[in-house]
Structure 1
Amino acid sequence: MAQTSALSVWSRMKKQPLAAVGLALVVLFLICALFAPWLAPYNPAHIDLMDRLAGPSRSHWFGTDELGRDILSRIIYGARISLEVASSVVALSLLLGLIFGGLAGFYGGALDVTINIFAINAFMALPGILLAIAFVAFLGPGLINLVLALAIGGWVGYARLVRAQVLAAREREFVEAAKALGASDLRIFMRHILPNIMQPLIVQSAIGMAGAVLAEATLSFLGLGVPPPTPSWGAMLNDARAHLFDAPHTVVFPAIAVMCCVLSFNFLGDALRDYLDPRTRLSVGL
């Protein structure tokens, strides 16, 4: 059975090369984040002013920055920050979306109107990144503040998706049967509705990881992310702005890391959407 499943996955990967690339990159970044102390050749905070702005070489594969710190080591440790922030933001946004979207979709009526107007639509009227910038600027930079700031603007998309899915699922026959048997509202939602709306939420979460990585890099670039000397891809790009022409490697490698990480989750999200949607699976021959 396991061998058949593995062959099935491999056959799907061959039909979707971008999915294989996305999965491979996600695994690579996860390995970097989990095993950074063993993979990084140098201490990411070690300063060597005698070797500042050195180009790529055998001793420093990606070169060094303006303080002589090894760029490869900082990129590897930066993967830990990016994925930690992104996964926390997606988890918190999904939780808030399930709560507010689930309540609005399940009960409907006045509660639905209230949540829609005073919560979902109100937050949608504000650009998420500007709301995050204002939040972090008010509370100060830091990992927890960064996660909260991004989740405040990111939960609305999950809430709208959950509400739409719950509105459709609550009219299904198995939900009506559970109500007729006297099941509680919480049991109906957790046991009957939630498992049937997980597919679009999984896809949305994968794509949301890409957005969260990019948003974290943006705030760190603006100096509103994790405080130094903690390695962050966005902060590395901010520090390298002054050396774009005399030491372009200080910009190129962190930018490539951000680009590859964002693309990997987008590729993975598209592959999950094609695989989890039966109509798409039939159309593409999966």
Structure 2
Amino acid sequence: MTADQRPELYYVIKAGELVALNYLDGGHPSPVSAEWIDRGTDRHLSATRLDQFFRTYHQDVDTPSVLKLREAAGLRVGFESREDRHAFASAIHEASIRAKAEAARLVTAIHPSMEEAEQAVDALVKRGVPVEAIALLWQANAVMGGEGTPAQGYSRSRVLARVSAGGVAGAAMGFAMLTIPGVGPVAVAGAVIASAYSSVATACGVIGATGAAMATMLSDQDVESVAANHRETQLKRGRIFMTVDAEKSGKSREEITALLEQNGALDV
């Protein structure tokens, strides 16, 4: 930091807070600058360490060097006034609370195909999980052709809900198309539509551009680097993500997890 920079105009977003950027609303002040730093030295994070941070951000790595880097790395954002800085700090605090609450509420599973995901939905509904508690997410390219049209064999109604026994077709709550940098178009069907982007972020571990929040803080390259992770890879391979709202399901997270594992989930 140079001598003419005023510390009171800066806020440092810790590595553990980055996912909260997906939960910021559009009313917070936008930063006028952003830079990756080592919080211990208050200096720019080197290109080598930044690359390592991006590559390991979503991985379950417990090596000392990675853990130390995660503890040290931060995104320092600057504002025009102390009022803006304080307003942003308050906004990201509230966003962090929402992010943690949603992560605790949603149980996510990955299925090899739409057919297997539908079978799992059928099994959940038969065991008493309401369809309003279930949602499906997938990379739209996996089942869509050009210009957002369904690929051969995938009508919109079939893609959204084909489980006849579970009655999902009659209870589908909507359909949304989102574009996530590094991932591309993502389709969402079901109960998470009301908060589609944040739910996708929670389910897939993705950090993407959410209006002023990410667009003004990270470059496109940064966004794509942080978004790159195991779950994103699964999404690109055509896997289907299913999220179940534990609060709405009437069952414990343990019960939901067991049901998903019993019905072909690759990862819960």
Quickly name the TM-score band, shorter chain normalised. under 0.3
Q: RCO higher in 1 or 2 (8 Å CA, sep ≥ 6)?
A: 2
Question: TM-score, with normalisation over the residues of structure 1?
Answer: 0.25
Q: Whose helix fraction is larger, Structure 1's or Structure 2's?
A: 1
Q: Whose strand fraction is larger, Structure 1's or Structure 2's?
A: 2
